[in-house]
Amino acid sequence: MNVLSSVLRGFEALVLVYFAILTLVYALSALVGLRTIVVAAREPEPLALRDVVDRHYAKPVSILVPAYNEEDGIVGMVGSLLALHYRRFEVIVAVDGATDATLARLVDAFAMVESPTIYRRSVGTRPVHRVFRCRDHPNLLVLDKVNGGRADAVNAALNLARHPLVCVVDADSLLNPQALARASRLFAEDDTMIAVGGSLQPLNGAVVEDGAVVGMVAPRRWVERIQVLEYARSFFVTRAAWSRVGSLMIISGAFGLFRRDAVVECGGWTPGLVADDMEMVVKLHRRFRELGQAYRIGFTPDPMCWTEVPSRVRDLRAQRCMWERGILEVLWRHRGMAGNRRYGRIGLVGIPYLWLFETGATVVEALGYVLVVVSAAAGLLDLRFALLFFALAVLFGTLFSELGMTAQALLVSRPRGARDRFDLFVAAFAEYLGIRQLLVFSRLVALFQVRSRRGRYWRPSPPRPPAAETLPLPVAEARGG
Amino acid sequence: MSGARSDVLDAAPADRGGLRARRGEALFRALSVLIVVVEAAVMGALVWVLLGSRTVGAPPHSLLQDALVAAVTATASLLAVATATLAVLRSAGAGREGRDGRAEGGWSRAWERVLDGLDPCPAGPIDDEARSALLALSESVTGARLRRATAAVRQTGTDAVLTGRLDAVRGARRGRTARRSFAWRGRSTAATLDVLDDLARARLPEALPALLMLVRDRKVQTRLHAVRAAARTISRIDDDGDRSARSRDLLECIGGSGLARGALDETLVLLGRAAPPFVRAVLTDRNSSPPLLASSLDAVARLRLSRLGPLVVSHLDDRAPLDVRAAALRALGSLPGLPAGSDEPLRRALADPVDVVRAQASRAARLLPPSEGLAALNDLLADPSWWVRRAAAEALAAAGPIGRAALRDATRTHPDRFARQMAAQVLADRALETPSDAGGRAIA
């Protein structure tokens, strides 16, 4: 019993110290990332955006869209891309061996014709069967290829890309019409920029008019509200901070702008990985540091892209398990960078942080819950201490969520109404009443499934048709607005 | 106006406020600092008590619990203060912004009447919403309306307000001490960017000296905003001599600014009619930096400054930096004819060991005597570099009926397989993009 007591006390100390460090890191992130937010709230402003859109100096962009079984939304999505406010760009859709009517719908909707195309295979991919072009939209190409996964599809599109910048978007995302203009400005302003990420926001609860998000209301389901908070914390605090210190290690696969030559230098996206988007950024850091070339990976917290997030707990679990496996896959793949001075801040701070406070947080938190149960069973639990610690974690988590939401509010044109803010505030507490614990244990299990489920993607369950009462309200009728 | 306009600009002025500075920024900064300080203190105390108890050997669990209670209390208090403050801030801010937006919308309609000559210009001073509406409107008007807008900027005292704010931020920045907090630095940057944005719209020549000084600022964001404001201002100066003089002043400041190539390209575009003398000055200055030279040479092509053709020739030298040579070749390709002394450098570039140079040279090869140019491009169709083959094929396709005929012949008779494929590909692409222009059988 003394041994058990010592072990428990020791772990208690470990968890406390761990929590204290993590709390400080998050708090500092809010402050460090704030400057990114402040500058982004002014740059680009309408004047500079218009100069980008209307004038000729902006770099042309190739938009790469990997598509697999997206028959329902692919035509609308491609149509919205073709309507982007940008002077020169092309859209390359890589249909990755889809088994539904994705290709047929594209060919029909855009009157595409098969056009044998000679292109430079900068990156090896699975075979490409056919290439289609469109007379009405000469900047639209669709390629039909053997299924090889998302990364392989992006690489195939990359091989056909003609422009110096490539933008990777998901087929189920809704892009901000000004996304290209805003993101490409960062390349114009810094010759060393090789990649730019933008913030991703949940489409759940967003009010969409004519293909653009014009407002946000709190989603009806608690699991969606919790994710709204998570995304706000992640993009408007954490990533803004990491970008500020030059150690951004992930650019969301739903929207990222890259210099084509930099991506080709790294051999394109790595097939067979769940987190190929994160792996590309880590690879860029690694390659350019090995080359000794000055580079920068930027981030703009401006809302660039909206994506549907899981609306059911089981889907959320599956997604987070996938992400957990993905992070560990990437970290393991690049384990040589950890603690390696050759890789500068990435090797000495960024990668160790991911090991200790992303992957490690899952382990520590899960063990914490387990040991509470063990302590209680052994009669060693100090209930007051446990409750106080839990209260501290909940309070700080809520505070952090509040900071994220406010940072977001500094950037959007229509801030949330009072009722929405209250709902989200309550959700910040509700997150700790079961969902968080469920996700922690699921993610812990996922860590042991990295090998057995290697490269296995999760796709969301088909959404249920919404009942009339669950449709988001138009902005004018938004509660508390 | 171009059809590709931001929908933000199409919206009423109230909606454009979404991308501007938000109210409550300063307070949010202060709260963030407070949170960091308090959490650092409570977490530090907690860890100290915990580790200290281990060192001493005694298990003062009660002390640890007291520290935990203090941490919970402090965090809860922070949360309460932050939530209440931010809620009030957002509500009050949203309300205020809504009122400001409506006011600005009203002013936009009023300014429309002033610029149409239907109403007299209101006497100054005017408030921020009126000023913002006037500056926004002045961006989209031309001719007589623009003249009235410019006059209104003066009559309402907007010019004095903006130059005063510029002096204020410059003074605040000069007075910065090493002990200034992060929050203050952020605020100063924000204030500077705001006033530079307004000056870019207002285009006040009297603000140019201060703007040019900020082009050399140590903060890259400030330099970018300042050079943009300066270029826009110079482009609006009516007097040719004054405009040329100011653009030379800008050139002096840009030289040591370390601005990125894209920013230099932007500057040259924004200079508008002031660009030609600026470009001439750059191309004739031996001390011009390679990025500035490359941007200026690209401006020759983009702005079709054919009379600067002779100045391009000197930058075709084999010893010039690669970016400069490539830009010079692009510029050469945009000219209606080869300037004297450029044929030999072009011939050398067509055989250059660097593929980028060969690719750019292929676009200018059409300027050589037809038989020589066609032969050179036909040879480049079989170049080892895909990009050079593509550039050569596109150059032939763009070289009129003779070039396209040569390309069609290449699809059948060129000895190199890759050349035949590339020729066919480019012809097929052109058939899709410009059906009226295409020749031969399109593969479709």
CB contact under 8 A, A51 and B270: yes
Query: What amino acid is encoded at A165 in this protein?
Result: L
Residue A242 structure tokens: 């990491």
Q: What is the distance between the alpha carbons of residues B269 and B275, in angstroms, rounded to a whole number? A: 7
Chain B residues near residue A388 by CB distance under 8 angstroms? 65, 68-69, 72
Query: Which of A23, A49, A178 is the closest to B43 by Cβ?
Result: A23
pLDDT at A83: 87
Q: What is the distance between the alpha carbons of residues A227 and A205, in angstroms, rounded to a whole number? A: 11
Do residues B47 and A23 lie in contact, with contact meaning Cβ atoms separated by under 8 Å? no
CB contact under 8 A, A120 and B386: yes
CB contact under 8 A, A85 and B6: yes
CB contact under 8 A, B1 and A48: no
CB contact under 8 A, B20 and A41: yes
Print burial letters for B298-323: b (CB count within 10 Å at least 16), e (below 16): bbbbbbebeebbebbbebbeeebeeb
CA distances to A32, A222, A407, A458, A460 from A316, in Å: 30, 12, 25, 10, 9
pLDDT in tens, A16-48: 888 888 888 888 888 788 777 766 665 555 566
pLDDT at A117: 84
Q: Say how many C-beta atoms besides its own lie within 10 A of residue A469's C-beta.
A: 6
Separation of CA A186 from chain center: 19
CB contact under 8 A, B28 and A410: yes
Rounded to the nearest integer, the mean pLDDT of chain A is: 85
Counting other chains too, the contacts that B169-174 makes at CB distance below 8 Å and 24 or more residues apart are B169/B195, B170/B210, B170/B213, B170/B214, B173/B217
Do residues B357 and B349 lie in contact, with contact meaning Cβ atoms separated by under 8 Å? yes
pLDDT at B395: 94
Closest Cα to residue A66, out of A271, A262, A265?
A271
CB contact under 8 A, A388 and B68: yes
Chain A residues near residue B326 by CB distance under 8 angstroms? none
Q: Which of the residue ranges A188-202, A244-258, B229-243, B424-438 would you say has the lowest mean pLDDT?
A: B424-438
Q: How many CA atoms lie within 13 A of A206 on its CB side?
A: 24
3-state per-residue secondary structure call for chain B: CCCCCCHHHHCCHHHHHHHCCCCCHHHHHHHHHHHHHHHHHHHHHHHHHHHHHHHHCCCCHHHHHHHHHHHHHHHHHHHHHHHHHHHHHHHHHHHHHHHHHHHHHHHHHHHHHHHCCCCCCCCCCCCHHHHHHHHHHHCCCCHHHHHHHHHHHHHCCHHHHHHHHHHHHHHHHHCCCCCCCHHHHHHHHHHHHHHHHHHHHHCCHHHHHHHHHHCCCCCHHHHHHHHHHHHHHHHCCCCHHHHHHHHHHHHHHHHCCCCCHHHHHHHHHHHHHHHHHHHHHHHHCCCCCHHHHHHHHHHHHHCCCHHHHHHHHHHHCCCCCHHHHHHHHHHHHHCCCCCCCCHHHHHHHHCCCCHHHHHHHHHHHHHCCHHHHHHHHHHHCCCCCHHHHHHHHHHHHCCHHHHHHHHHHHHHHCCCHHHHHHHHHHHHHHHHHCCCCCCCCCCC
Over its length of 444 residues, how does chain B's per-residue pLDDT go in tens digits? 233 323 322 333 333 333 345 556 777 778 888 888 888 888 888 888 877 765 555 455 677 788 888 889 999 998 998 888 777 777 766 677 677 778 888 999 999 999 999 999 988 788 888 998 998 888 888 888 988 998 999 999 999 888 888 888 777 655 554 444 444 444 567 778 888 988 988 889 999 999 999 999 888 888 998 999 999 999 989 899 999 999 999 999 998 788 988 889 889 988 988 999 999 999 999 889 999 999 999 999 888 888 999 999 989 988 899 999 999 999 999 998 889 889 999 999 999 999 999 999 999 998 999 889 999 999 999 999 999 999 999 999 998 899 999 999 999 999 999 999 999 999 988 887 665 544 332 222
Helices B61-115 and A418-430 pack at an angle, to 10 degrees, of: 160
Do residues A223 and A313 lie in contact, with contact meaning Cβ atoms separated by under 8 Å? yes
Handedness of CA A430, A433, A436, A439 (dihedral sign): negative
CB contact under 8 A, B262 and A57: yes
Q: Which residue of B has its CA nearest to A34?
A: B29
Query: Which of B39, B61, B186 is the closest to A24 by Cβ?
Result: B39
Chain B residues near residue A418 by CB distance under 8 angstroms? 87, 90-91
**pLDDT over 50 (residue A325):** yes
Angle subtended at Cα B325 by Cα B323 and Cα B329, rounded to the nearest 5 degrees:
115
CB contact under 8 A, A42 and B193: yes
CB contact under 8 A, B82 and A114: no
Q: Is A136 on the interface with B (CB under 8 A)?
A: no
CB contact under 8 A, A399 and B79: yes
Which residues 322-381 of A have a C-beta within 8 angstroms of B? none
Please state whether the peptide bond connecting residue B125 to the residue before it is cis, i.e. omega within 30 degrees of 0. Answer: yes
Q: Is A23 on the interface with B (CB under 8 A)?
A: yes
CB contact under 8 A, A409 and B18: no
Q: Which of helix, strand or coil describes residue A452?
A: coil
Paired sense of beta strands A112-114 and A89-96, if any:
unpaired
CB contact under 8 A, A412 and B18: yes
CB contact under 8 A, B33 and A31: yes
Query: Which of B6, B36, B65 is the closest to A49 by Cβ?
Result: B6
pLDDT in tens, A411-460: 665 566 778 888 888 898 888 888 899 999 888 888 887 766 665 555 55
Q: Is B249 on the interface with A (CB under 8 A)?
A: no
Closest Cα to residue A388, out of B73, B63, B82?
B73
Q: Is B40 on the interface with A (CB under 8 A)?
A: yes
**pLDDT over 50 (residue A102):** yes
Chain B residues near residue A27 by CB distance under 8 angstroms? 35-36, 39-40
Q: Is B48 on the interface with A (CB under 8 A)?
A: no
Residue A250 sits at φ, ψ, to 5 deg, of -145, 135
Whole-model pTM?
A: 0.85
Residue A55 sits at φ, ψ, to 5 deg, of -110, -175
Chain A residues near residue B435 by CB distance under 8 angstroms? 135
Q: What is the distance between the alpha carbons of residues A87 and A84, in angstroms, rounded to a whole number? A: 9
Closest Cα to residue B404, out of B427, B384, B428?
B427
Query: Which of A34, A55, A388 is the closest to B186 by Cβ?
Result: A34
Helices B220-235 and B182-202 pack at an angle, to 10 degrees, of: 10
Do residues B316 and B332 lie in contact, with contact meaning Cβ atoms separated by under 8 Å? yes
Q: What is the distance between the alpha carbons of residues B440 and B92, in angstroms, rounded to a whole number? A: 68
Q: Which of helix, strand or coil describes residue A313?
A: helix
Separation of CA B183 from chain center: 27
pLDDT at A449: 79
Residue with structure tokens 């100066």?
B237
A56 — pLDDT class (breaks 50, 70, 90): low
Q: Is B64 on the interface with A (CB under 8 A)?
A: yes
Chain A residues near residue B193 by CB distance under 8 angstroms? 39, 42-43
pLDDT at B256: 78
Which residues 385-404 of B have a C-beta within 8 angstroms of A? 386-387
Secondary structure letter of residue A355 according to DSSP: I
Residue B420 sits at φ, ψ, to 5 deg, of -65, -45
CB contact under 8 A, B32 and A178: no
Q: Is A414 on the interface with B (CB under 8 A)?
A: yes
CB contact under 8 A, B197 and A45: yes
Separation of CA A198 from chain center: 9
Query: Which of A9, A85, A114 is the closest to B444 by Cβ?
Result: A114
Residue with structure tokens 């056009």?
A115
Q: Say how many C-beta atoms besides its own lie within 10 A of residue B427's C-beta.
A: 23
Residues paired with A197 in a beta bridge: A256, A299
Q: Is B184 on the interface with A (CB under 8 A)?
A: no
Q: What is the distance between the alpha carbons of residues B254 and B241, in angstroms, rounded to a whole number? A: 20
A55 — pLDDT class (breaks 50, 70, 90): low
Q: Is B69 on the interface with A (CB under 8 A)?
A: yes
Residue A281 structure tokens: 């950024």
CA distances to A186, A251, A285, A290 from A293, in Å: 18, 20, 10, 8
Chain B residues near residue A120 by CB distance under 8 angstroms? 386-387
Q: Give me the torsion for CA of B264, B269, B275, B281, rounded to 10°.
A: 20
Q: Which residue of B has its CA nearest to A389?
A: B68
Counting one residue from A and one from B, how many pairs have CB atoms under 8 Å apart? 235
Q: Is A406 on the interface with B (CB under 8 A)?
A: yes
Q: Is B39 on the interface with A (CB under 8 A)?
A: yes
Q: Which residue of B has its CA nearest to A410?
A: B22
